[in-house]
Every structure is written in C-alpha cells, then in structure tokens.
Structure 1
Amino acid sequence: MDSTQVEINNQTPQTHEKQSKGLWFEALKQLFKNKAAMVGLGIIGLLILTAILAPLLAPYDPLETKILYRLKAPSAQHLLGTDDLGRDIFSRIIYGSRISLQVGLISVGIALVFGVSAGVIAGYYGGKIDMLIMRLMDIMLAFPSILLAIAIMAILGPQLSNAMLAIGIVNLPRFARIVRSSVLTVKEEEYIEAAKSLGASDLRIMLGHLLPNCLAPLIVQSTLSIAGAILEAASLSFLGLGAQPPIPEWGAMLSAGRASLQIAPWVVAFPGLAIAITVLGFNLFGDGLRDALDPKMKDK
C-alpha cells in the first residue's frame, strides 16, 4: 500500500463525523450568545405554544358570528375587537397561528424534499444531468416568486392546500442551488474518496456523507424560508387565492377587513401585526443561525 492510500484511509468518514460534532457544539454555544436570535427563538416558541394551546387560550369560537357585536372596538369582553361578522379577532388570530405554522412547515418541507434531491443529484453526477436540472431551476428563478405562485394557483385553484404546494414549488430552486453548491465542494474531500474506496454506493455516499455536510446552509435557509412562506401564504390569501372564508388565516383576515379599514382599523391592524411579529421572529432566529454556522462570523 502506497503513502497516498494510507493518507486516504486515515481520513475516514468516521473521523470526519467526530470533527463535525465538535463544530456543531461550538455553533450551538455561539447561537445562545446571540441576543437577537434568542428573541427570535422566544417569538417562535410563543407561536408554537399558542398554536398547541389554541382551544384553551381562545375565549370564543373563531367561526362563531354575532351580528349584533359586529365591528366592536377592543374592550374587556373582546380584547382585540370584533370583525364585520361579530367574530372575536383575538380568538381568530390565536387559531390563525396554527394555519401559519402549518403553511410554513409544509411548504418548506415540500421545497426541501424536492429541492435537496435535485441539488444532490445535480452536484454529484454533474454533466448533462446537472445542466438540465439547474437550467430548469434558473427558469423558475427568472419569475418573481409571488407571480409564479399566482400562476400555479391559477392552474390548481384557490385553496389553502394548493397554496402550500405552490409556495413549496416556488422555493424549490433556492434549496437546489444551495445543496448543489455544497455538494460540489464536499464531494472532492478525501473522506468521500475513502468512502468510495471502501465500496460505498452512490446513494449511501449522497445520504450518509454529502447531505450531512450540507445541513448548516439548509437549516439556515429553511428557517428563513418559513418566514417567507408565511408571508407568501398571507399574500395569496389576501388576493383571494389562498385560505378561503371562514378559515381564520391572517392574510384572509386582512383581505376581509379592507372594507372596514376606515371605521374599524383594528380589524386589519392586529392580523397584520401578527404576521409582522411572526416573520420577524423567524428572520431573527435565521440570521442568528447563519452567524453561528458561518465560520467567517466566528471572529467577529
């Protein structure tokens, strides 16, 4: 056995995994030192708790209409007032947190599964496969995301489940490009050569060695994409293409409250504030993750 082979064998996948665990621990410590990221994590945690405990926290049924109480200003009886059908806005915002989380997680999950698969295949095999996949991604990125989502919704029809699918498709190219870029770098490492020399299959190398080393940028992009997905879903619902009445989705609440904006501004103010705070929370946490997982930021 020559010296080159000995050197490759010394850099085994197991050795690299041990080094990676140490890096993840350091990144976690760095994350907890970031005050803005902790604020974002607190907002996300509060949103999750609100979604889980919605039946206990909401004082009223979010779908119950009381015409006699329509457009009531915020009071002790209705903390955030009522809408044009007399429904309690506070209760609807609480239940709307469930829909926003569902939209964010499912949409990003769709983008992750298909985007990561496309990126790994393109980066690992290269050649014509790479060119075909990435040119398709480039075509999708050439369209503004909201316009592409509207076009997809025009084909699928206005429905919340279709909105989640459309948002997932729109975000797919970002994940594909990130993973492809990481795979092109990682596949040249010595531990990948060691895995090949030990007879590992392409699928095992992609799933066991390439993907784990793409996790850092994927985690950051996923967190930021959840914020974008919630905002895009609210935009589609505002245009009447997402959640349909009487579903208590924040964007749909904004759309329904437009007619009452001048006489009852709270009808749109509080759902809009809920969207803004939620998106801010995910963005703050995503920025903190980026800073913690980026080696270039460690010295700053």
Structure 2
Amino acid sequence: MESTQAQLENKTIEIEEKSSGLWIEAWKRLIKNKTAMFGLGIISLLILAAILSPFLAPYNPIETNILQRLKAPSGVHLLGTDDLGRDILSRIIYGSRISLQVGIISVSLALVLGVGSGVIAGYYGGKIDTLIMRLMDIMLAFPSILLAIGIMAILGPQLSNAMIAIGIVNLPRFARIIRSSVLSVKEEEYIEAAKSLGANDFTIIMKHVLPNCLAPLIVQSTLSIATAILEAAGLSFLGLGAQPPTPEWGAMLSAGRASLQIAPWVVAFPGIAIMITVLGFNLFGDGLRDALDPKMKD
C-alpha cells in the first residue's frame, strides 16, 4: 500500500511539473503572438476605462442638456451629443463598466453551472450523462438570442436578468467542453490509482480532474465574454436589457435610431465601441487557443 501511495505521489508531482512547464511554454508562445497581444491591449484599455471612468469622462453620463442636443463632434463634445444633450464620449466610457460587468458575471455563471453539470455527466456517465447532455442539446437547438429573449420574457427586462439569461444561454458550451475533457482525463492511470487508495470522488475531481481541464475552459471563457457583451447589447437594443438612462452601448444604439439620418454619430460611436471590444476579446481568445494547444510549436 505504501509503495502504491508513493508511486501515486511521484506521479502527481511529475504531472504538476509537466503542467507547469506547459503553462510557461504557452505563455512564451502567447507573448510572441502579435495579434493576441493587440487584443490584450484592447482589453487592457477597456479595463482601464472602466476603472478610471469617473476621471476620464468629461461630463456626467446621465445629465441631460436639451440646449446641446444632437451636437456634432467638436472640441466641446469630442464625439457629439445625443437627442437629450448627453455627452456620447462620457456615456461610452461609463458603458465600458457595464459591458465588463455583464461579460464577467454572465460568463462566471455559465462557467460554474456548465462545469458542474459537465463534470457530473463526464465523470459518472450512464443515465446521468444522457439526461444532462440531452438537455444541453435541447438548449443548443435554439438560436442563442431567441433563447435569451424567452428567458427575459419570464424574468423581466432588467440588466441583472439579462446577465442571468446570457449565463444560461452560454451554459451548454461549457458543459460540453468540460465533459469531453473529463472523459479523457478520468481514464488516466493516476485517477485509477487515486481510486484504489480510497480517495473519494470529490477529491479526485477537484485535485486531479479539473486542474487538467483548465486550458479549454480558459479559452472558452475569454471567447464567451465577447459573445456575452454582444448578446447583452442585442438585448438592450430590443429594450430587454439595461433600461434608460443607463449608459449601455446597446441601449445607446436603440435610442439613437430615430436620429440616425440627421445625427449618425449617435449610433456610429457606440457601435464602434462594441465592435472594438468584441474584436479584442476574440483576438486574445484565438491567441490563447493557439498558445495552449500542445500541437502548436514555434
């Protein structure tokens, strides 16, 4: 028994050292990827704008001034004003907070629920696996925006409810990814050794299974943040997400539709903000995927 336990400990140490080396190699590949670094730069600027928005925004984002309505971009208002005279630049800067909040919270919800259900399905298999994965297939059969709208119809139009809806919509992707990883990892020798030594399922999952499934989860989380921001903007555009006067980019697009022909900047700049943000997360996510792929070599 002691010999078997010693072998398991040595195997665990060996795996941890190998894993550490793989992460270092992945980081080296990532920093050499100029496209990924460009995406990371966009994300960094977004985070800084969200943190420093009270200092960066030249005006109060929700303060109206009818005398200044629909002013073109100028030295006074760099990106112009909307139909209520609110400074568009200030609203976009404050909107970065909401976009990050939606992305992080909704993806965290999807990650927790998806990983939990995916681990249970992959580790235990059988009827539990069939039941969980068929439920995920049903959810994936619906277009994501339609499923989100259906959930919002039940919960009500509110930003916090939009986060819940987006989290539920993205849940199946995490469940399928973690399930496939668990199916592969649970067949490893060190998992069988841990079982023979009397380790319970929770210990095996937390200590041996999940740490070896992190790479695909990290990539999917990064890409899902971009999707979540886009979906939140879509819900707000339809009036189901952030409610006025919240400076959310999708809501700004919706409010600016009536003024599109006479003041195109009201719609153009929030749309550009969404595009650049989603582009940044997608570029960084693609770079992460390449860096964490063991088949990728310099």
Partner of 1:151: 150
Structure 2, unpaired ranges of 5+: none
Contact 1:243 1:249 in 2 (8 A): yes
Q: Matches of 2:150 and 2:237 in 1, distance apart?
A: 15
Identity of paired residues, percent?
A: 81
Is 1:272 aligned to residue 271 of structure 2?
A: yes
Q: Deviations over 1:249-283 (max 9, x none)?
A: 00000000000000000000000000000000000
Partner of 1:184: 183
**Offset at residue 152 of structure 1 (A):** 0.3
Q: Matches of 1:10 and 1:82 in 2, distance apart?
A: 64
Q: Matches of 2:236 and 2:22 in 1, distance apart?
A: 41
Q: Matches of 1:27 and 1:287 in 2, distance apart?
A: 13
Is 1:111 aligned to residue 85 of structure 2?
A: no
**Offset at residue 8 of structure 1 (A):** 6.0
Partner of 1:261: 260
Structure 1, unpaired ranges of 5+: none
Residue identity opposite 1:222 in structure 2: S
Q: Matches of 1:244 and 1:265 in 2, distance apart?
A: 22
Partner of 1:28: 27
Contact 1:148 1:170 in 2 (8 A): yes
Q: Deviations over 1:62-88 (max 9, x none)?
A: 000000000000000000000000000
Contact 1:12 1:195 in 2 (8 A): no
**Offset at residue 198 of structure 1 (A):** 2.5
Q: Matches of 2:258 and 2:206 in 1, distance apart?
A: 52
Q: Matches of 2:16 and 2:198 in 1, distance apart?
A: 19
Residue identity opposite 2:24 in structure 1: F
**Offset at residue 285 of structure 1 (A):** 0.2
Residue identity opposite 2:47 in structure 1: I
Q: Matches of 1:186 and 1:61 in 2, distance apart?
A: 52
- The aligned runs of 1:88-237 (5 Å cut-off) are 88-237=87-236
Q: Matches of 2:253 and 2:207 in 1, distance apart?
A: 45
**Offset at residue 9 of structure 1 (A):** 3.9
Partner of 2:53: 54
Residue identity opposite 1:274 in structure 2: A
Contact 1:11 1:190 in 2 (8 A): no
SS in 2 for 1:296: coil
Contact 2:5 2:197 in 1 (8 A): no
Q: Matches of 1:273 and 1:116 in 2, distance apart?
A: 33
Is 1:77 aligned to residue 91 of structure 2?
A: no
**Offset at residue 199 of structure 1 (A):** 2.0
Q: Matches of 1:30 and 1:194 in 2, distance apart?
A: 34
Residue identity opposite 2:105 in structure 1: I
Q: Matches of 1:170 and 1:111 in 2, distance apart?
A: 8
**Offset at residue 193 of structure 1 (A):** 1.5
Residue identity opposite 2:180 in structure 1: S
Residue identity opposite 1:199 in structure 2: G
Contact 2:8 2:194 in 1 (8 A): no
Contact 1:72 1:83 in 2 (8 A): yes
SS in 2 for 1:65: coil
Residue identity opposite 2:177 in structure 1: I
Partner of 1:66: 65
Check 1:169–1:230 CA distance in 2 against 1; reply closer, same or farther (3 A cut): same
Q: Matches of 2:143 and 2:13 in 1, distance apart?
A: 43
- TM-score w.r.t. structure 2 length? 0.97
**Offset at residue 297 of structure 1 (A):** 2.3
Q: Matches of 2:10 and 2:178 in 1, distance apart?
A: 23
Check 1:99–1:10 CA distance in 2 against 1; reply closer, same or farther (3 A cut): closer
Residue identity opposite 1:163 in structure 2: A
Contact 1:8 1:191 in 2 (8 A): no
Residue identity opposite 2:71 in structure 1: K
Is 1:240 aligned to residue 239 of structure 2?
A: yes
Contact 1:80 1:270 in 2 (8 A): yes
Q: Matches of 1:219 and 1:247 in 2, distance apart?
A: 30
**Offset at residue 208 of structure 1 (A):** 1.2
